[in-house]
Structure 1
């Protein structure tokens, strides 16, 4: 694992320290790694949503489709 040093103003360092203590992180590095992973996930989701929005529709979804989907979800519970 490589190391990266960052400079933070006191207010941000205090905030990070509060998050580490209050939310059960082992270190500030662990907290920052989680923030980065969440941002990666958010960017991936945004890309997928944009890809879907820019694609052409494949088929019209009728009420029967949604009824079957709801039934499948209920059956899985």
Structure 2
């Protein structure tokens, strides 16, 4: 595992130490790793929302579809599964 040195203002350092004392985290490193994981997950969801926006724009431009609602939902489920947002 790599080591990284980070400088923080005192209020942020105090906040992290308080989270550790409350028992939510074992160490400052544990807290930072959790922040990174959450940020990555949030950014992946944003990407998914952008994909949905693009599909919506494309659908509006294409007019009325001959696909059934069930077909459309099946495709949406496959996209969600591909992004780990839904389990089989």
How large is the Cα RMSD of the aligned pairs?
Answer: 2.2
Partner of 1:29: 29
Partner of 1:69: none
Partner of 1:7: 7
- Listed as ranges, the matches of 1:23-62 within 5 Å are 23-55=23-55, 56-57=58-59, 59=67, 61=69
Structure 2 unaligned blocks of 5 or more: 60-64, 74-88
**TM-score, normalized by length of structure 1?**
0.70
Partner of 2:77: none
Structure 1 unaligned blocks of 5 or more: 66-77
The runs of at least 4 consecutive aligned structure 1 residues that moved more than 2 Å come to: 56-62
Deviation at 1:60, TM superposition (A): 6.5
Question: What are the Cα deviations for residues 3-50 of structure 1, in whole angstroms up to 9, with x where unaligned?
Answer: 111001111100110011114311010011001100000000000111
Question: Equivalents in 2 of 1:60, 1:5: separation in Å?
Answer: 55
